[in-house]
Structure 1
Amino acid sequence: MDRVYRYQRHFYDLTRRYYLLGRDRLIAELDAGPGTTVLEVGCGTGRNLVRAARLYPDAALHGMDISYEMLVTARRAAARHGAALRFAQGDATRFNPYAAFGIGRFDRIYMSYTLSMIPDWQATLAQGICNLAPGGSLHIVDFGEQERLPRWFRSALRAWLAKFHVSPRGELERVLHALAEKLGADLRFRSLYRGYATYAVLRLPLQGE
């Protein structure tokens, strides 16, 4: 990943702003009040966390990524914007937040166009839920199935994404429903922009519920 992003990180945000749709909506719906602990899985350049810091200045914001090169850019972005963010390098499929940050569980965890880039995306989901506090919520936005978009667009988009090892996860809704049922969690899953993106929020029950 460092080999891929060593140079891409310098223009990553400029190129992605036009097709990573739904990111700002996800951040706006985090509802991270004072003292809320938040983790972004696959934080990349820190773009989302910097935006979250503007909306939730009293929340405790954290980011993790497997790429050291991306985290270099993220730390610089945080310093440039005066955002009090904490970062750690790690593998999303087995990330230990206590070892990285001294925090056992987070109130909010979000994954923005992350699952489509991680081969073992189901392990990433499972680890994210393990790192979530009772009553906490997992927020996801990623590429959808493009089911209501023209066939030519769908084919062209998938071919282009494949060049970057990105694969929309067609089974995401089914997997999330199964996890929600197993955990007694509440799940909201919706399609955005005619299927271009999917958006999900899974909220764990409070202890004793």
Structure 2
Amino acid sequence: MTDRSHAALMDDTYRYQRWVYDATRAYYLLGRDHLIANLAPPPQGRVLEIACGTGRNLQHIAQRYPHTALYGLDISQQMLRSAGAKLGARATLAQGDACDFDPRAAFGVAQFDSIIFSYSLSMIPDWQAALHHALDQLTPKGRLHLVDFGQQHRLPAIARRVLNGWLARFHVTPRHSLPMVLSDLATAQGLTLQMRDLYGSYAQHAVLTRT
């Protein structure tokens, strides 16, 4: 069931921002194209982006991997309006909560070969539940890809303070414990984890693979 309070907050946040979202976020949501370049879905594979926003990433995936089936989930109807206008029939979109969506009800399929979180875990209140739920929707040998704000440990202290203060205005909380959480998940579920810092620890990119 969709968290109505969070859905309302996201709709309020992006009701007008969605019109300028892609132009403004290009300057600080770094690493999204790195994720897409390394996505490598199987032929005819199903790709789901959780918290797909305006559909920017799905549009780029459609161009790079034209034979994939694309799906997008977002809690905000406002963002889905932008994504629908951008993607048309190229992707199947649905409103839902990242922590408890039903893929069959939302999309008519049970599992996905690739699942993406792109700068979304830092905005999902129960982000660890969202990770667990996403892993349940992966096919055997499926891969979960994510890019988000990093631990920032290589950035100057003043840069960290300014960045995190500014992000808080948009309900964004970098998940500094993400590497440890992913390592624990990989161990508990027998997954392969690949992880790397990007841009001097500004961002982090990770891939969890079912083996």
8 Å CA contact 2:42–2:113 kept in 1: the answer is no
Which residue, out of 97, 105, 111, partners 1:99? 105
Question: Per the alignment, in what secondary structure is the counterpart of residue 191 of structure 1?
Answer: strand
Identity value in percent: 54
Query: CA shift at 1:28, angstroms?
Result: 1.1
Which residue, out of 139, 152, 162, partners 2:158? 152
Query: Which ranges of structure 1 fall in alignment gaps of 5 or more residues?
Result: none
8 Å CA contact 1:45–1:74 kept in 2: the answer is yes
Which residue, out of 151, 162, 179, partners 2:168? 162
> Which AA in structure 2 matches 1:7?
Y
**C-alpha distance in structure 1 between counterparts of 2:86 and 2:107, whole Å:** 20
Query: CA shift at 1:33, angstroms?
Result: 3.6
| Superposition RMSD in Å | 0.9
**C-alpha distance in structure 2 between counterparts of 1:102 and 1:114, whole Å:** 23
Question: Per the alignment, in what secondary structure is the counterpart of residue 15 of structure 2?
Answer: helix
Alignment of 1:41-190 (within 5 A): 41-79=50-88, 84-190=90-196
Q: Indicate the residue corresponding to 2:4 in structure 1.
A: none
8 Å CA contact 1:65–1:91 kept in 2: the answer is yes
8 Å CA contact 2:13–2:170 kept in 1: the answer is no
**C-alpha distance in structure 2 between counterparts of 1:142 and 1:4, whole Å:** 19
Query: CA shift at 1:190, angstroms?
Result: 1.0
Query: Which ranges of structure 2 fall in alignment gaps of 5 or more residues?
Result: 1-9
Which residue, out of 25, 33, 38, partners 2:47? 38
Question: Per the alignment, in what secondary structure is the counterpart of residue 165 of structure 1?
Answer: coil
Q: Indicate the residue corresponding to 1:194 in structure 2.
A: 200
Query: CA shift at 1:162, angstroms?
Result: 0.8
**C-alpha distance in structure 2 between counterparts of 1:127 and 1:148, whole Å:** 31
Structure 1 stretches of 4+ with a deviation exceeding 6 A read: none
Aligned residues: 202
Q: Deviations over 1:118-152 (max 9, x none)?
A: 11000010011011111000000000121111111
8 Å CA contact 1:2–1:67 kept in 2: the answer is yes
8 Å CA contact 2:75–2:97 kept in 1: the answer is yes
8 Å CA contact 2:191–2:208 kept in 1: the answer is yes
Query: CA shift at 1:109, angstroms?
Result: 0.2
Relative to the length of structure 2, the TM-score reads: 0.94
8 Å CA contact 1:32–1:59 kept in 2: the answer is yes
Q: Deviations over 1:4-35 (max 9, x none)?
A: 11111000111100000000010111102421
Q: Indicate the residue corresponding to 1:26 in structure 2.
A: 35
The yes-or-no answer on 1:2 pairing with 2:2 is no
Q: Indicate the residue corresponding to 2:5 in structure 1.
A: none
| Most deviating of 49-58 and 25-34 | 25-34
